[in-house]
Structure 1
Amino acid sequence: MKLIVGLGNPGAKYDGTRHNVGFDVVDAVARRLNIEIKQSKANGLYGEGRIDGEKIFLLKPQTFMNRSGESVRPFLEYYNMEVEDLLVIYDDLDLPVGKIRLRQKGSAGGHNGMKSLIAHLGTSDFKRIRVGVDRPAPGETVVQHVLGRYRPEEKDAISEAIDLSAEAAEAFTKKPFLEVMNTFN
């Protein structure tokens, strides 16, 4: 079994914001794999499917970003899954819009959703895809930036990054992650 988690905030007012790019990628994976995300468990919306006989779960925690671990850990426990089966997708201020970076493990890097995951899972050794949303513009706070929408000139780049991240997430279900990293980094 594999679990692909996209981090974001629930509710229509957050749709299309930088902070919700994890949700956007999971939605793109769902379209690619023809999985409907409409079931509820562990404070999250999820869908399930199969690839080459292996069960795949897609999860969008509904706990708000800063409490994502409160959804992911119970979901893993319910299905008796290991952290090695987990891939987390989230926004990253330190990467330019449109850039993605895959890692096998790492720190939270100041990201509160990742801090919550690390605290609840008791480890930072889980796979992740960081999707660049760039730094705030001068005079813009981090909160304004991540809860804001993309500028028109960024839309093509973020759309491509979402598609590429979805492709990488699908590859995670089929290949060793080191191979996936070598392909997509």
Structure 2
Amino acid sequence: MKIIIGLGNPGRDYENTRHNAGFMVIDELAKKCQLEFKQEKFSAYFAKGKVKGEDVILLKPTTFMNNSGFSLRQCLDFYKESMENVLVIYDDKDLPVGKIRLRQQGSAGGHKGIKSIMECTFNQNFDRIRVGIGKDERIPIIQWVLSKFKEEEKEDLQQAIEQACQAAYFAIDHSFEMTMNRYNKK
């Protein structure tokens, strides 16, 4: 089983904001996998189905970003799964818009959604796809991550969403090491 969780904030007020890049990718992945978020389960919008012969769960937590780990923990406990089968997709202010970066472990890097996952799972070794949202040093970080993308960023953003979606789809039936080798661009 593969559990793929996209991080973001629920509700219309947060649609298309930088902090919701994870939701944008998971929505694209749901289309590619022909899965629908028909129900709420584990404090998340939940979709489940067979993809490339594998059981796949897609999650979009409704707990808000800073408590994303609670949703994942509920899902892991219910299915008795380990973090080895989890892929987390989220925004990263330290990457420019249009770039993605894959990695298997590390710190939260100041990202409160990742911090919540680490606290709730007691683990920092999990597969991740980071989607660049850029940063503007003149704007406080909270204000920045809750802002919408600028018109001139939208093409690069769409490219990153598609690339992250392809990487997540590839990771369903390939090792994450192979996925990183294929999708991490220098």
Alignment-mate amino acid for residue 95 of structure 2: L
Alignment-mate amino acid for residue 103 of structure 1: R
Q: Deviations over 1:132-171 (max 9, x none)?
A: 0011252x11111100000111000000000100000001
Report SS of the residue matched to 2:143.
helix
Tell me the C-alpha RMSD between the 2 structures.
0.8
Q: Deviations over 1:51-105 (max 9, x none)?
A: 2321101000100000001111111111111100000000001000010000011
Q: How many residues align?
A: 184
Query: What is the aligned partner in structure 2 of residue 49 from structure 1?
Result: 49
- Contact 2:54/2:173, CA 8 A, preserved across alignment: no
Query: What is the aligned partner in structure 1 of residue 155 from structure 2?
Result: 156
Q: 1:20 deviation in Å?
A: 0.4
TM-score using structure 2 length: 0.97
Query: What is the aligned partner in structure 2 of residue 142 from structure 1?
Result: 141
Alignment-mate amino acid for residue 130 of structure 2: R
Query: What is the aligned partner in structure 1 of residue 106 from structure 2?
Result: 106
- Is the counterpart of residue 37 in structure 1 residue 34 in structure 2? no
Residue correspondence of structure 1 range 75-86 to structure 2 within 5 A: 75-86=75-86
* Identical-pair percentage: 47
- Unmatched runs of 5 consecutive residues or more in structure 2: none
CA distance in structure 2 between the aligned counterparts of 1:64 and 1:164, rounded to whole angstroms? 25
Query: What is the aligned partner in structure 2 of residue 169 from structure 1?
Result: 168
With over 3 angstroms needed to count, the CA separation of the structure-2 counterparts of 1:176 and 1:143, relative to structure 1, is same
CA distance in structure 2 between the aligned counterparts of 1:183 and 1:169, rounded to whole angstroms? 11
Residue correspondence of structure 1 range 77-96 to structure 2 within 5 A: 77-96=77-96
Alignment-mate amino acid for residue 133 of structure 2: V
CA distance in structure 2 between the aligned counterparts of 1:52 and 1:25, rounded to whole angstroms? 19
Alignment-mate amino acid for residue 161 of structure 2: I
Report SS of the residue matched to 2:130.
strand
Alignment-mate amino acid for residue 163 of structure 1: E
TM-score using structure 1 length: 0.97
Superposition misfits of 4+ residues, deviation over 4 angstroms: none
Query: What is the aligned partner in structure 1 of residue 118 from structure 2?
Result: 118
CA distance in structure 2 between the aligned counterparts of 1:54 and 1:4, rounded to whole angstroms? 12
Alignment-mate amino acid for residue 171 of structure 2: F
Report SS of the residue matched to 2:22.
helix
CA distance in structure 1 between the aligned counterparts of 2:135 and 2:144, rounded to whole angstroms? 8
Query: What is the aligned partner in structure 2 of residue 6 from structure 1?
Result: 6
Q: 1:9 deviation in Å?
A: 0.3
